[in-house]
């Protein structure tokens, strides 16, 4: 819940001319399931592995297995909540600035097992020059960090069912 980032987001939304957008400064894990949304962008908190400066002397102290475990736990809860409040037939985007499988494909595969969502393949047209990393889920994208790009992951999901199948 970062007010400064929310204000920056509001500014960018207005600048792009987007309408019918509401920015909530709230921990999304606590949003009531009463709400339902037509579209969701879940830019999940992550380890930032796609943005790391490997020359940073403090990297070993801050980029730890504990950091990854903590972010994975948060990501799972956020994604589950997002699926709960997404309308059936509607789409969402899950993104991180991580290139680690456990923060990306593993999270998506877990939610796919619920049979509540399906992958909507992302077209790579007009993106041929991007440095792609291989992904284990067809239709998702992972960009390799280099001198021009920070690394990141994107998956697009469509909600197919309201409740879990038993």
- Select which of 46, 97, 142, 144 is catalytic: 97
Q: Active site includes 97?
A: yes
102 Cβ partners below 8 Å, 6+ apart?
Answer: 68, 72
The separation between the first and the last C-alpha atoms of the chain, rounded to the nearest angstrom, is 35
Active site members: 97
């Amino acid at each position: 819940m970062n007010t400064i980032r929310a204000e920056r987001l509001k500014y960018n939304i207005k600048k792009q001319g987007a309408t019918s957008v509401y920015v909530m400064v709230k921990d999304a894990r606590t949003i009531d399931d009463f709400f339902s949304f037509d579209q969701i962008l879940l830019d999940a908190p992550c380890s930032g592995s796609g943005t790391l400066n490997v020359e940073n002397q403090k990297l070993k102290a801050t980029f730890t297995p504990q950091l990854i475990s903590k972010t994975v736990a948060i990501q799972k809860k956020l994604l589950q909540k997002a699926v709960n409040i997404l309308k059936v037939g509607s789409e969402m985007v899950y993104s991180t600035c991580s290139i680690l499988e456990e923060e990306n494909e593993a999270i998506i595969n877990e939610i796919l097992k619920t049979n509540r969502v399906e992958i909507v393949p992302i077209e790579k047209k007009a993106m041929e020059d991007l440095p792609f990393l291989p992904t284990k889920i067809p239709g998702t994208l992972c960009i390799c960090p280099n001198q021009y790009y920070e690394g990141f992951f994107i998956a697009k999901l469509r909600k197919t069912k309201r409740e879990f199948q038993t």
